[in-house]
């Protein structure tokens, strides 16, 4: 059986107005583009230059000389942390649990050795010790990135407020909102299958082009 071909009839004489989306146009000042390039490249370039310089070699030798002292200090800190956890209310088998006084078969691999351990692991993500250690380190890394992101939210507004650097839009959430705006226009719809879903009298309240 030959394939069924659907052919659309000729467009009607009365043109139907259809909403069509234009391509997004984003305009940024040269200061903004230069700032993005500079602030992106400077940290990596500076670290690489320092690492290959005599100053970098001196820093490496100094760190190697202090390595043994730092290792001994780390062992002392770990011993103090173990002692603090053993005497703390929030660690150990008698720590508070996420269901409080209700009886529940809590997982055995969560023994209250880590901060924030309330015995909640219904998915069993912490059964593998190696995977659990990786998750722990990843969470610390994510928290540090979140702190840097919070700093990046405040700094542009402060720089623009004090007149040090002028941005097109210093408020972080307004930047994302403005870049997602699109423009629509009325154009004749040439398809006879146009419905209320693709043809409408849409009129934006204002032109949000950047």
> Which residues pair with residue 16 across a beta bridge?
189
Judge whether residue 41 has pLDDT over 60.
yes
- Determine if residue 139 is labeled as part of a ligand binding site: yes
The predicted structure's pLDDT at residue 181: 67
Say if residue 120's pLDDT is above 50: yes
The answer, yes or no, to whether residue 66 has pLDDT greater than 50, is yes
Token digits of residue 175:
């930047």
pTM for the whole thing? 0.45
Q: pLDDT at residue 13 above 60?
A: no
Read off the pLDDT of each residue in 54-77 and give the average, rounded to a whole number.
87
Average pLDDT over the chain, rounded to whole? 75
205 known ligand binder:
no
Q: Has 61 been labeled as part of a binding site?
A: no
User: Given this model, what pLDDT does residue 48 score?
Assistant: 80
Q: Does residue 100 register a pLDDT over 60?
A: yes
């Amino acid at each position: 059986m030959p394939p069924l071909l659907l052919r659309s009839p000729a467009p009607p004489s009365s043109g139907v107005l259809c909403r069509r989306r234009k391509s997004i146009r984003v305009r940024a000042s040269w200061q903004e583009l230069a700032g993005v390039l500079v602030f992106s490249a400077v940290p990596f370039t500076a670290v690489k230059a320092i690492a290959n310089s005599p100053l970098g070699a001196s820093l490496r030798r100094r760190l190697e000389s202090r390595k043994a002292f730092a290792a001994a200090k780390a062992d002392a800190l770990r011993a103090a942390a173990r002692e603090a956890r053993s005497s703390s209310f929030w660690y150990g088998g008698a720590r508070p649990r996420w269901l409080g006084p209700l009886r529940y078969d809590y997982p055995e691999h969560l023994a209250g050795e880590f901060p924030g351990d309330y015995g909640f692991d219904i998915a069993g993500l912490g059964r593998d010790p190696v995977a659990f250690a990786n998750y722990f380190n990843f969470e610390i890394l994510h928290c540090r990135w979140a702190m840097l992101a919070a700093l990046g939210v405040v700094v542009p507004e402060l720089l623009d407020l004090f007149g040090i650097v002028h941005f097109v839009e210093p408020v972080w959430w307004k930047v994302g909102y403005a870049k997602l705006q699109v423009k629509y226009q009325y154009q004749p719809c040439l398809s006879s299958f146009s419905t209320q879903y693709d043809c409408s009298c849409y009129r934006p309240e204002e032109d949000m082009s950047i």
